[in-house]
Amino acid sequence: MKTFYFKSKLAVLGLFLLANTILSAQDQSILINLHDAVKSVKQYHTSEKFNYDVDNAIDDGLANLQQLEIPKNAAFVFDIDETALSNLEYELRYNFGYDPKTWDEWIKEANATAIPGVKRLYDSLIARGIKIIFITGRNFALIKDTELNLKKAGYNLYDTLICKTPEFKGKKAVEYKSQIRNELSNKYKIIGSVGDQWSDLEGGWTIIKIKIPNYMYFIE
């Protein structure tokens, strides 16, 4: 297993209700009470509706996969936070806030759990002999903790784990992840990507795109 080092976690609280923002007749956004917004996000991410939406996204991705001819060097890219692993315990602990110190401490605990639908995708890909690549915005200094957490969550087989190195400091997530996919395309045929942010999926060098719902934060 190859281990690379690369991260960036810009956790911005995406506090909008599950309903889209309502515009008034004057085309002005109606403000939502912060307490109500947080409550709505909490209710969604702790409900079966979240798991249902994840399963639907995974099912669509697996259906699209059936339409592809799988090459021998096929690989599928996974994001980690809020994709392969759920950090809901951390988010609830700090009421959806984000602080670099507490975030690093949480990663070192290595107690994030697998999101069942994404783990099902992982198991299906492994069974088909498709290589797994993890590309995360986590700091390269936390690589060992990340490896431990992945193992504890059942992600025992993967080909490559990439965390963010200082050379990508200041770059947006979409630039970082698309550049890494581009570089990896010299070795692999990347047939798909799964992530909770559009920045995990955009920028090219992938075919199937599976978007996992996340109303807790937004990363460009």
Q: Which pLDDT score is estimated for 9?
A: 39
SS3 4: strand
Q: How far apart are CA 103 and CA 11, in angstroms?
A: 10
Tens of pLDDT, residue by residue over 101-118, are: 999 999 999 999 999 999
Q: How far apart are CA 42 and CA 194, in angstroms?
A: 23
DSSP H helices in the chain: 34-45, 48-66, 88-93, 100-109, 116-127, 143-152, 173-184
Q: Which pLDDT score is estimated for 6?
A: 39
Residue the block writes with tokens 């099912």: 59
DSSP tag of 142: G
Residue the block writes with tokens 């690589």: 143
CATH fold of 2-16+33-218 reads Rossmann fold (3.40.50)
SS3 80: coil
The distance of Cα 218 from the centroid of its chain, to the nearest Å, equals 11
CB 132 within 8 A of CB 157: yes
Q: How far apart are CA 162 and CA 7, in angstroms?
A: 9
Residue the block writes with tokens 């002999």: 129
Closest CA to 203 of 216, 213, 190: 190
SS3 191: strand
Q: Which pLDDT score is estimated for 28?
A: 56
Q: What is the pTM of this model?
A: 0.87
- List the domain boundaries for the chain: 2-16+33-218
Q: How far apart are CA 33 and CA 8, in angstroms?
A: 29
Find all residues with CB under 8 Å of 129, minimum gap 6, and list them.
74
Reported as half-sphere exposure (CB side, CA atoms, 13 A), residue 149 has a value of: 25
Low-confidence ranges of the chain (pLDDT < 50): 1-25
Q: Which pLDDT score is estimated for 18?
A: 46
Q: Which pLDDT score is estimated for 32?
A: 83
Q: Which pLDDT score is estimated for 31?
A: 82
Q: How far apart are CA 84 and CA 212, in angstroms?
A: 10
CB 195 within 8 A of CB 83: yes
Tens of pLDDT, residue by residue over 16-37, are: 434 444 444 455 567 889 889 9
Q: Which pLDDT score is estimated for 207?
A: 96
